[in-house]
Amino acid sequence: MILVTVGTQLPFDRLVKAVDTFAKDLTRPVLAQIGKGSYTPQNMKWIKNIEPADFDSVFRDATVIVSHAGIGTVLTAKRFGKPIILVPRQASLGEHRNDHQLATVGQLAGRPGIYVAHSDEDLKNYLLDDLDSPSREDPSEVGRASLVNYLKGYLATV
């Protein structure tokens, strides 16, 4: 299953509409979490929000995640070992207060299991591909261990 998720805070109709437009051409079924969006998908299953209690099972069932460039979803995809395709929100299209999601994808592009779609065509091509998942030897684990150890060390001195 392809899981599309836009988060709970802001609508992201551009992304939902793009996937809905070519959902019929995809080989896998799609579930879209549309949040506060007003566009109603015609060609794929959709829900407004995923209840926190259902979240894990929905993520486990997904083979690939399509998402706005929200850190929460990136970390969740990593936790479940799923490839994630990011579509950054753009301030010029009224999709966020500022363009920090563009900056985020600028830094994350090319990391294992993370793909950045800059156009609808990019997105469709990624969804027709078999994308690699983040590997167990994800280099970002080093940074995380470093932060955790640093905090541990700091707390030990208090």
Residue with tokens 């829900």, as numbered in its chain: 47
Contact region for another protein (CB under 8 A) — 4-12, 15-23, 30-38, 116-124?
4-12
- Comparison of 89 and 124: residue with beta carbon closer to another protein: 89
Residue 93 or 142 with smaller CB distance to another protein? 142
148 binds another protein (CB under 8 A): yes
Backbone region of residue 37 per phi and psi (left: phi > 0; alpha: psi in -120 to 50; beta: other values): beta
Say if residues 20 and 42 touch (Cβ distance below 8 Å): yes
Q: How many Å apart are CA 111 and CA 12, to the nearest integer?
A: 24
Among 78, 85, 87, 137, binds another protein (CB under 8 A): 78
Query: Does an H or E element contain 87, and which?
Result: strand 84-87
Q: Which of 2, 4, 5, 7 binds another protein (CB under 8 A)?
A: 7
Which residues does residue 46 pair with via DSSP β-bridges, in sequence order? 32
User: Which of 27, 38, 92, 107 is close enough to bind another protein by CB under 8 A?
Assistant: 107
Instruction: Give residue for tokens 């280099």.
Output: 139
Residues at the interface with another protein (CB under 8 A): 7-9, 51-53, 55-56, 70-76, 78-79, 100, 103-104, 106-108, 140, 142-152, 154-155, 158
